[in-house]
Structures are given as C-alpha cells and as structure tokens.
Amino acid sequence: MINLRTWSIALLALGLCLTRTNLHAADKPITLKLGTLAPANTSYHKNLQAMGESWKKASDGAVKLIIYPNGTLGGESDMVQLMQTHSLDAGLLTSVGLAEIDRDVFALQSMPMAFRSLDEVDYVGEHLRPQLEKLMLAKGYLVLFWSDSGWIRFFTRTPVLHPDDLRKLKIFSWAGNAQQYDLWKSVGFSPVALETAGIPTGLMSKTIDAVPMPPFFALAGQLDTQAKYMLELNWAPLVGAAVVRKDAWDRVPAAAREAMLKIAAEAGKQVKAAGRAESDAAVTAMVKRGLTVQKVTPEVAEEWHAMIEKIQGQIRGKIVPPDVFDESQRLIKEYRSSGAAAGK
C-alpha cells in the first residue's frame, strides 16, 4: 500500500515536472527550482532572491531561479528525493540533507564540541571543500556555495546545564538520520525522530522537550515561546550548502556559467555572514521576551567534553567516515599549532 507521504512526494514531482514541460513548450527562460527550509523573507531567502536576480542579468534573461522556502516541498529528505527524480533542480540544505547525497559532509557538523571557534570551522571547511565537492560531483551535484548558521545551541522546556539534565528530557532528532538517533540513545538520552517542520508542534504537544538549533532559527520559528531556556554551549556549527543537479546546471548557457558561479560564491559569503551575526542578535531578542540563558563554566564544559570523548569511536565510522574524521582532526590540530588561533 502506498502511504500518504509517498503520494505527496509523487504529486509534488508531477506538478514540478508539468511546470517544466510547459515552460519548455512555451520557449521561456531556463527555470531552476530551488527548495529550502529557510523561512521566507529572512536573510537566507533574500540572499537567494538576490542571487536569482543577478543570475538573470548575468545570463541576459536566459535563467530564472524559482525559490520554494519554508519547507513547502517537505523536509530535506523529501527535497533530495525530488532532486533525485529530476523534479527539483537545487536545494539550500543543511548537512542532514547533504548527507543523503554523501555522508562525508557530516565531518563539519557531526563532531560535537570539536571546534573551539568559527575560525576553526572555516579553516577545516576550506581545506575539505575540494574533496567534498569532488564527491558531490561524482553523485551528480554541483556545489554552488558552502555556508553555516553559527553555533547550534540547546533550547529546552526546563533548565539544562549538565548532561544529566538533558538526559531527563525528550530531545529532537532529525527523522531519517538513524545514526544520530542511535548515538543519542547510546549516551542515555531520549531522542524523538521528527521532521524539522514538526518541531513547533512537537514542543507544544510536549512530544519533545529539547531542540538543538541555531538561535536565529529558534527565533524565526518562535520556539522560545515553548522552550524558554537556552544552554550557551557551542555544540557544533549548523553547516549547509546550496547544490544543483549537474544535469540541470548543464542546461544553463555555457557562456553564463562562470559568472553565475561567482555570483553564487558571493551569495554564500553573504548568507554565512548574516547567519552568524543574526544568531547573536536573535539571542538578545529572545532574552528580551523571556528566554533564560544558561551560562556554561569551564567545569561544566568539561563534563560535556568527557561525555563526548566516550562516544568518539561511534562518531568516527558510524557518523563521519573514518578518513574524513581523521583529516578533520588533523586540520584542527594544524590550525591550533600554527598560531593562527592565538591571533584571533
């Protein structure tokens, strides 16, 4: 029996395919359709819109970018499925969605508390990027740009400071990411698998009590109205990328591709800068309307590090491929020993 989710994806695919057929029949500009969970009218959405306008000019009107924000095409796994069936051309995805294409991207997000600063994230990302982009291309996807949204923090219904405090709560885990779910379970937590769109309802219904998320997205989703506490612990960066199917990109006029890639790279820089800045501003805004920030002392941070140390063997291999994990750790050590960290 075909379930409702399968029917929904099939209908979305049919609608998008019919749109493409009609466009070609009418001899209109090449249309690239991009899906994202990013809320409409946020800096993420606006930067994508600006990229689309610049693409249109760079291609002399030959390329039109249509953006589907707010997760209107489903969760990230749904969007990847739509791309794989050639019903969607591109997506701005977090590492959760990107990992459905290639798991190596987990190196930048799924190593909790591995990074001391966002400068370290940049250093490791810049060095891993050629390898990751080559792997993505082999799977049929071109990376337009990489970005991140700053640090993931824990937003909770009740105060959390120590790992044992979080163990008492039901914590959100991305649906479809069985490895992450199992990892939470292995250290005594109670994960609940949901799609990102289900977080607000999950908090209201008390299906979940804790959500790991960057402050900006917590503010945009008004999660602080239910999860009134934030643990100020730099758990991991929320890393993502804009990708486009290679066969869809090949439809773009060859003369415009280089200029469009440069435009995309600049858009990525703007997305990253805005995302990081807005995370700090989001915390300030939520505190004004009642959010309580739980400060972390070095002693408390050490408790979290000790917990993570016990599961490094599971992260390496089960979550992050061993070679990428080892290279990431090497690059982190290289950055710290170079003296660059001291100068920041």
Class (C level, CATH) for 4-337:
alpha beta
pLDDT tens digits along 32-79: 999 999 999 999 999 999 999 999 999 999 999 999 999 999 989 899
Measured between alpha carbons, how far is 215 from 208 in angstroms, rounded to an integer? 18
Is 238 in contact with 109 (CB distance < 8 Å)?
yes
Higher pLDDT, 26 or 217: 217
Cα dihedral 214, 218, 219, 224, rounded to 10, equals -130
Section 211-220 average pLDDT: 93
What backbone torsions phi and psi does residue 272 show, to the nearest 5 degrees? -65, -45
pLDDT tens digits along 194-210: 988 899 999 999 999 99
User: Using 50, 70 and 90 to split pLDDT, how confident is the model at 9?
Assistant: very low
Is the confidence at residue 254, as pLDDT, over 80? yes
Q: Both tokens of residue 115? A: 């990074």
| pLDDT for the residue numbered 156 | 98
pLDDT tens digits along 67-124: 999 999 998 989 999 999 999 999 999 988 998 898 888 777 788 999 999 999 999 9
| pLDDT for the residue numbered 341 | 61
Angle at alpha carbon of residue 63, lines to 60 and 66, rounded to 5°: 135
Section 175-189 average pLDDT: 87
Is the confidence at residue 14, as pLDDT, over 90? no
Is the confidence at residue 301, as pLDDT, over 60? yes
Quote the pTM value: 0.85
Long-range own/partner contacts, residues 261-268 (CB < 8 A, 24 or more apart): 261/144, 263/51, 263/54, 263/55, 263/58, 264/51, 264/144, 264/145, 265/144, 265/145, 267/47, 267/48, 267/50, 267/51, 267/54, 267/144, 267/145, 267/242, 268/144, 268/145, 268/146, 268/147, 268/242
Helix residue ranges per DSSP H, the chain? 4-25, 43-58, 76-84, 95-98, 118-138, 163-167, 178-186, 199-204, 215-220, 246-249, 254-288, 298-309, 312-314, 322-337
